[in-house]
Structure 1
Amino acid sequence: MWAKIGETAGRVYHLLEEGEKNLSSLTKILRREGHNTNLVIMAIGWLAREDKINVIKDHGKWIIRLK
């Protein structure tokens, strides 16, 4: 399971290199690529724990961006 979370975290990181994204758009992109929603959430947590991203709530949406 750790490998899948790490792989998904890497994909999230690369998507965020293109610019900040909200949680729903990240989830939508990654679900199309075969990652389930829970895996995306765990990957975001992984990146947050590693202090690689900022997660901000803005007008009811979760915005994720690289530090």
Structure 2
Amino acid sequence: MATSTTDSLVWKIGETAGKVWHVLKDGDKMSMTRLIRSVDAPRDLVLQAIGWLAREEKIEIEQSSKGRYVWLR
């Protein structure tokens, strides 16, 4: 059973996912660190939003020796 607190958190994650998408829409691959710093939201919320977008297959995530990179599909 969903509560208003849960609904509010899900809404915030979705809203932050939109912010992440907008940051990524004009560019190529972006480091996870730079992306987190570019979005005006708490780090944990940005990471949840990235997970949301990954689950919806809207972004790609790559692990390299230099770190993780994210870009739109």
Whether TM exceeds 0.5 here: the answer is yes
Q: 1:25 corresponds to which residue? A: 34
How much does 1:2 deviate? 0.5
Q: Cα deviations across residues 12-63 of structure 1 (Å, max 9, x unaligned)?
A: 0111111121110011112xx2x10000100000000000110001223110
1:1-67 correspondence to structure 2 within 5 Å: 1-19=9-27, 20-30=29-39, 33=40, 35-67=41-73
When Rg is computed on C-alpha atoms for both structures, the one with the higher figure is 2
Code of the aligned partner of 1:37: R
Residue ranges of structure 2 left out of the alignment (5+ in a row): 1-8
SS at match of 1:64: strand
Alignment coverage as a number of residue pairs: 64
Moved over 4 A (4+): none
Using structure 2 for the length normalisation, give the TM-score: 0.82
Residue ranges of structure 1 left out of the alignment (5+ in a row): none
Q: Percent identity between the aligned chains?
A: 39
Using structure 1 for the length normalisation, give the TM-score: 0.89
SS at match of 1:56: strand
